[in-house]
Amino acid sequence: MGEAREVMDRLTEAVTHPDLKAIAELYAEDAVAFTPDEGELRGRESIVEYWRQMTEAVPEATFETLHAYETGDTAIDEGIFSGRNTGPIQLPTGESLPATQKDVRIRGVDIATVRDGRIVDYRLYFDEMEFLGQLGLLPDETP
pLDDT tens digits for range 118-139: 999 999 999 999 999 999 988 8
Q: Alpha-carbon distance 31 to 112, whole Å? A: 10
The verdict on pTM exceeding 0.95 is: no
pLDDT digits (tens, 9 = 90+) for 44-97: 999 999 999 999 999 999 999 999 999 999 999 999 999 999 999 987 788 899
The pLDDT value recorded for residue 111 is 98
pLDDT digits (tens, 9 = 90+) for 10-47: 999 999 999 999 999 999 999 999 999 999 999 999 99
Helix or strand holding residue 84 (H, E): strand 74-84
The pLDDT value recorded for residue 92 is 74
Helix or strand holding residue 121 (H, E): strand 118-126
Q: Alpha-carbon distance 55 to 31, whole Å? A: 20
The pLDDT value recorded for residue 6 is 98
The pLDDT value recorded for residue 106 is 97
